[in-house]
A and B are shown apart, each in its own frame.
Chain A
């Protein structure tokens, strides 16, 4: 067991190293000199050269890479080319915003999807199951931003119940924070719930077909209690996996919802930085994203070892 954990850690570190090179290389090939873009079109060549020097852009790529990585290891994400501001606090701010959004949306999605998916599986041949299935299918087919636009049009513009957009930190004004969070969380969470429902359904269906569950039911247990007693753990595995896999998609995918609701999250920072060629910020954001995803996958791997003893023997 310890050996397996150690192996996973090694894989994690190696993955991080490889992805840092990939991310850095990708930025290096982006056309458009960051110094020139940072200074604007009318900057004199001398000013551009000076900025290049200031940010070490005139040094060999390998050296630039090492400096960047060295900084990352010391939690120093560097300074923005464009605004000259320190990047770490900026990313921390934005990440906080996005995490609120993503985590509440995910909780909403789980709360909705688990019961719905289970019902759909248990009644998959009945009309109610089919109806739920159809609803979730439609949910999957609606882009999150469209859901957002609809929600704004109805609840903010027509009915005036909630603010159309904006973000207030919870510490500043908790009431406003909640009011502003409702619609974006709904638009992200509902679509997410639809996706997740389908995974829950198929996971539960798979478990229902397992021998041990058939045995339990043969012994007279009704489907739901049987599932509760014997199947939940097994059904949880694929669902947790999907959640983990969708993390990266959600963190960045939230950008569309952030744009609709004018929320200053991580995705918006990334988009702005790409268009301003603030490459160092892009690099940092992408790297943090990769780190988050790999870490979550790592934790999920560990979780498997706990949830499903069978996995310990796999391979």
Chain B
């Protein structure tokens, strides 16, 4: 993973330098494509199908990610309809987008962005630094989701000229620039935010077309787009609640791509078939067996450790997710610069688990495992229960309706001992383990300190401190990390530009093409 590390260091260096100017607007796609053909380059000879239908799992409940949580909204809209100043490429590196270049002051508190001058919002308005200021301030004042706190560090945003933006932070923050690549950094315009929930207005390569609720969202190619025009004229994101139905749709030709395979056992019907390509990569979705660290007997570190020893992660991954996915052992996916393989810290060892329980004075603890009624969680819950009971635990498995019942019971009221949920936000170690009020109720001053140092320090310090935090959490058994959800995509053979790893919040459509 060292190559990744150097590359990320490179990014931060690059971020400090200029990102190139004119070449950038044309190159933003080529950089991110990384060897994959980036479509037949806008309006090429290929008059083949101009429409693409992608099958996805969870439909958004609204199109407004400023007030609604959930991964489905940015998945559809970010980088496609809304653009950010900087965006994340396939390797997790920060690349220019609406900002062509950026300089950072010596005290690492002032960022100056040069912006493209030819980007237009879909309502006709030209994108300027004023819109960027408006967007940043709007996060601070009008957004309601918790992720908005990433913008708290911004002291002031100012338009120096229509194409030059200056942002001043109250303290140095590595995390801030990273968050600007997520939905937090989406650029909006003053007269385009009145109907965010139903009518998003952005500068992206696609414009919002139509939303048939319960069925699909249609995006249309933005013919006024300032950058490389995408290959497909119309992209339909079609939502399927039933994973098997999603597969069948591809098999019977009603869709072209399965964007996220939710039934990994079914992959076998595609792998041998020359009609399809199967892409397997990583995501940011850590499937966490979370502990309520404030509730006895889980307040006892030995009990938590016993749980980690009692779980056979390999067997769990094999049974729950057909062996697809990555064993991580900590809260860090391999695509993050501070990834370390910590799977060896708690090898499967039932005897040791029993011994720890005995030492803790709870040889047969009874724990309530309350999982959301989602396929992966229910599957994992079944296995975790069976495995823990081999080690002397008694596990009561509850299945809670998701989202409402799970959110109220587990997330808000922390009325649980253990739960299983995929934390899919990028770089969410701090959000999950750095906040004692979060539903894991994990309060560790050393971790909190490391997180703070990581945010404010240099990039080398950031990597070192994040590694330290991840190790502390892992060693302390604040949770068990079951596995990292794989990025599983199945598509017709001739579709190009599909992402290997799903590490941004977006399903980036601009790179897609047809060979």
- Please tell me whether chains A and B touch each other in their complex, using a CB distance cut-off of 8 A: yes
Q: Which residue of A lies closest to B62 (CB)?
A: A83
Q: Is the CB of A165 within 8 A of B254?
A: yes
Nearest-CB distance from A147 to chain B (Å)?
Answer: 15
- Tell me whether B68 and A39 are in contact (CB under 8 A): yes
Q: Given the complex, which residues of A lie within 8 Å of B408, measured CB to CB? A: 31-33, 36-37
B240's nearest neighbour on chain A, judged by CB, is A262
Least Cβ–Cβ distance between B419 and chain A, in angstroms:
13
Q: Does A40 contact B (CB under 8 A)?
A: yes
Q: Which residue of chain A has its CB nearest to the CB of B53?
A: A166
A44 within 8 Å of B (CB atoms): yes
Whether the Cβ atoms of B145 and A157 lie closer than 8 Å is no
A275-B215 in contact (CB<8A): no
Contact partners of B402 in chain A: CB under 8 A: 275
| Complex CA distance for A266 and B403, rounded to whole angstroms | 20
Establish whether residues A83 and B213, one from each chain, have CB atoms under 8 Å apart when the complex forms.
yes
Determine the residue in chain B with the shortest Cβ distance to A153: B248
Chain B residues within 8 Å of A253, by CB:
none
Main secondary structure of the interface of B (DSSP, over half): loop
Q: Fill in one digit per residue for B371-414: 1 if any A CB lies within 8 Å of its CB, else 0.
A: 00000000000000000000000000000011111011001100
Residue of B61, B240, B244, B405 most packed against chain A (CB within 10 A): B61
Q: Which A residues, 146 to 198, have Cβ-Cβ distances below 8 Å to chain B?
A: 149, 152, 156-157, 160, 162-167
Which B42-92 residues have C-beta < 8 A from chain A? 59, 61-64, 67-70
A156 to chain B, nearest CB (A): 4
B212 within 8 A of A: yes
The 8 Å CB contact of A262, one of B197, B249, B253, is B249
B214 lies within 8 A of chain A by Cβ: yes
Question: For the complex, is B159 an interface residue (Cβ under 8 Å from A)?
Answer: no
B215 touching A32, Cβ below 8 Å? no
CA distance A160 to B248 in the complex (A): 10
With a cutoff of 8 Å between Cβ atoms, the chain A residues found around residue B251 in the complex are: 156-157, 164
**Bound form: Cα–Cα A40–B245 in Å:** 28
Instruction: Please give the distance in Å from B143's CB to the nearest CB on chain A.
Output: 9
Kindly identify which residue among A37, A152, A157 contacts B403, using a CB–CB cutoff of 8 Å.
Answer: A37
- B147 adjacent to chain A (CB < 8 Å): yes
Cross-interface CB contact of A84 among B59, B146, B197, cutoff 8 Å: B197
A43 within 8 A of B: yes
B412 touches A41 (CB 8 A): yes
A90 to B411, CA, bound (A): 31
Would you call A76 an interface residue if the criterion is a C-beta within 8 Å of the partner chain's C-beta atoms?
Answer: no
Question: A69–B245 Cα gap in the complex (Å)?
Answer: 38
Complex CA distance for A283 and B63, rounded to whole angstroms: 23
Does any Cβ of A come within 8 Å of B170's Cβ?
no
Q: Is A277 an interface residue (CB 8 A)?
A: yes
Q: How far is the CB of A170 from chain B (nearest CB, A)?
A: 15
B198 and A84: CB pair below 8 A? yes
Fill in one digit per residue for A31-71: 1 if any B CB lies within 8 Å of its CB, else 0.
Answer: 11100111111111001000000000000000000000000
Q: Is the CB of A260 within 8 A of B242?
A: yes
* B-contact bits for A243-282, CB 8 A (1 contact / 0 none): 0000000000000000111101100110010011110000
A217 at the interface (CB under 8 A from B): no
Q: Knowing A83-B197, A259-B241, say if A275 contacts B404 (CB, 8 Å).
A: yes
Chain A minimum-CB-distance residue to B197: A84
A82 at interface by CB-CB < 8 Å: yes
| B144 CB contacts on chain A under 8 angstroms | 39, 43-44, 47
- Please determine whether B147 and A85 come into contact, CB atoms closer than 8 angstroms: no
Closest to A32 in B: B404
Residues of B within 8 A of A278 (CB): 61
Please state if A47 and B67 are interface contacts (CB–CB under 8 Å).
yes
B252 an interface residue at 8 Å Cβ cutoff?
A: yes
> Judging by beta carbons under 8 Å apart, are A163 and B67 in contact?
no
> Residue B252 contacts which of A42, A93, A162 (CB distance < 8 angstroms)?
A162
Residue ID in chain B nearest A266 by CB atoms:
B214
Instruction: Kindly list chain A residues whose C-beta atoms are within 8 Å of the C-beta of B240.
Output: 165, 262
A259 with B252: CB separation less than 8 A = no
Question: If the complex has contacts A43-B146, A156-B248, A166-B254, are A276 and B61 also in contact, measured as CB distance less than 8 A?
Answer: yes
Instruction: Please give me the 4 A-B residue pairs with the lowest Cβ-Cβ distance, nearest first.
Output: A42-B146, A40-B69, A264-B214, A164-B248
Name 8 interchain pairs, CB-CB below 8 A, sorted by A: A32-B404, A37-B404, A39-B145, A82-B62, A84-B62, A90-B213, A162-B252, A262-B249
For the complex with contacts A43-B145, A83-B62, A163-B254, 17 further pairs of A-B residues with Cβ separation under 8 Å are: A36-B407, A36-B408, A39-B67, A82-B62, A83-B197, A83-B198, A84-B64, A149-B244, A156-B251, A165-B245, A165-B248, A165-B249, A265-B214, A275-B401, A275-B403, A275-B404, A276-B61
